[in-house]
Structure 1
């Protein structure tokens, strides 16, 4: 049996690189040599044990995380088009059953029996040298999208859905709560559409990022909450212009309170975003065209052996200021 290295979460606060069997492509699957994999807040919550899926029973230890990734197809399984072999790819995190009412209607990302790569039980994640992945959920990467940008397609797909849901025209004003990866990608994609963007969060040297104390008194045509602050969903409703939209993608560790009277009396539309699925193709197109370059968001790229330290919150020495750490599983 041929073995490979993979990161395995064995319990709350416990992670180690283990030797595991190399995956074999089942019907409809490909095998990918993973070139880059991102570490995101969901991975951290799975590591700490705070992730709600661990308490609802859809996720359990041992667990192999990683759902933001790019790589090259090394082998194809039965029933898969041979042309995928050798192609550079990324993929959808949300893997639906394919035959339920929601999947048939194009809402596979909320399929009740879905897999979530590296998150829910059933499909091992991309923090490994190789990944078995269903070909139906692959997205090809153009030559202009390198491995680093390719690993940022998944969070950018989420951000793209936020921009779409905000329903703004060029020249209108968007406020984004949170300056993490999703918030900053949302800002990049919105600006590429000609939208005026402001952020509420850590300044990090930006002239478009405000604190609660310095936030200007402007009409906000839409607000995207990409934070984890339990008080910010309510703030979003209070700040947005009447008759416009609030988009929620951030999750707090405790329940958030929204006064529905505020939403009703302001005629506010609120939209929740789960998953990147519908945003992946346009995110790839934005990266490929050069209208959005996500690579400055990457603070460092480290080897698989450093992944546990990253999950524990330790940034590599010499890291840049960006919010994203990438793993190269081949190192």
Structure 2
């Protein structure tokens, strides 16, 4: 089958590889659509920390935001999965440690991550193998575009839950990329007053078209009370900025990752009684996101600018905008 493979920083393309086989406990999914994420870009550039920590190595088959149809199952898997449209978890725990036993497989020290960690091939391919326990059924009311937005939606929903905002609360989301915009959409659906903060440019201009209460650059940010702040950016400076801006007793949620360490004075948190929460993985919220999408609480499709074939992925990872793409931040890939 055809798969997109990164062989070294800046070097990638389509290769013919052996198709996955449904081993015991796993299913093979024919991929309908997959998303390109900032993590994929970091692997393409060689900046991803897992490459330096030994958790990942080239060659790599990327892709962890996806949906498709189950076409084969291994021993021990209910054959009722065959023909079902699904998406699935990225974080695949060992299944036997204390964290996995407590439902925190996304924190398992021995986990693999689809298309990211431990050599588990990803979904930028015609087919992908996934443990059946990691699958989530997609209702027929959700199209493939929405299905491939479940994984980023899970990260965003977890961030909003951690921010604990609702009716009458004012939230500032830093970073108007896919996760930041989805978080803003989930928070708005909960009745919060939602503002976004970003750099001058196309991403911030696009955010201004989505009807939020405010979209600001550093030069424009008003002096308002921020009950919670979600940092969905890649800036090493914004966690400290969030500490300066959040109301005493408020909450800061960090879901974005910078390429270099962030320096924050912890005394600011202590003296203002601020709660700081880190979010890793969509895993605990995937089911809730599917329900929210199906119920019309949030429609993520407006964020998808266009789709390309596997042969267009290298250009996307290199920063090229596909011809005719819309203004949204997300690019999807169709494997066929």
Contact 1:63 1:121 in 2 (8 A): no
Deviation string 1:136-191 (CA, Å, 9 cap, x unpaired) is 00011011111001101000000000000001222211100000000000011111
Q: Alpha carbon RMSD of aligned pairs, Å? A: 0.9
Deviation at 1:318, TM superposition (A): 1.1
Match of 1:158 in 2: 155
Q: How many residue pairs are counted as aligned between the two chains?
A: 327
Query: 1:1-331 counterparts in 2 under 5 A?
Result: 4-202=1-199, 203-205=204-206, 206=208, 208-330=214-336
SS in 2 for 1:204: helix
For 1:128 and 1:195, the matched residues in 2 are separated by 39
Structure 1-normalised TM-score? Answer: 0.97
Gaps of 5+ in 1: none
Contact 1:67 1:93 in 2 (8 A): yes
For 1:326 and 1:157, the matched residues in 2 are separated by 17
For 1:308 and 1:142, the matched residues in 2 are separated by 32
Deviation string 1:228-255 (CA, Å, 9 cap, x unpaired) is 1111000111111111110001111111
Q: Which moved more, 1:198-207 or 1:13-22?
A: 198-207
For 2:289 and 2:171, the matched residues in 1 are separated by 19
For 1:296 and 1:150, the matched residues in 2 are separated by 13
Deviation string 1:237-288 (CA, Å, 9 cap, x unpaired) is 1111111110001111111011111111101010000000111111111110
Deviation at 1:97, TM superposition (A): 0.5
Deviation at 1:59, TM superposition (A): 0.1
Which runs of structure 1 show a deviation greater than 6 angstroms over 4 or more consecutive aligned residues?
none
Gaps of 5+ in 2: none
For 2:9 and 2:331, the matched residues in 1 are separated by 21
SS in 1 for 2:173: strand
Deviation at 1:24, TM superposition (A): 0.6
Contact 1:200 1:215 in 2 (8 A): yes
SS in 1 for 2:205: coil
For 2:160 and 2:255, the matched residues in 1 are separated by 11
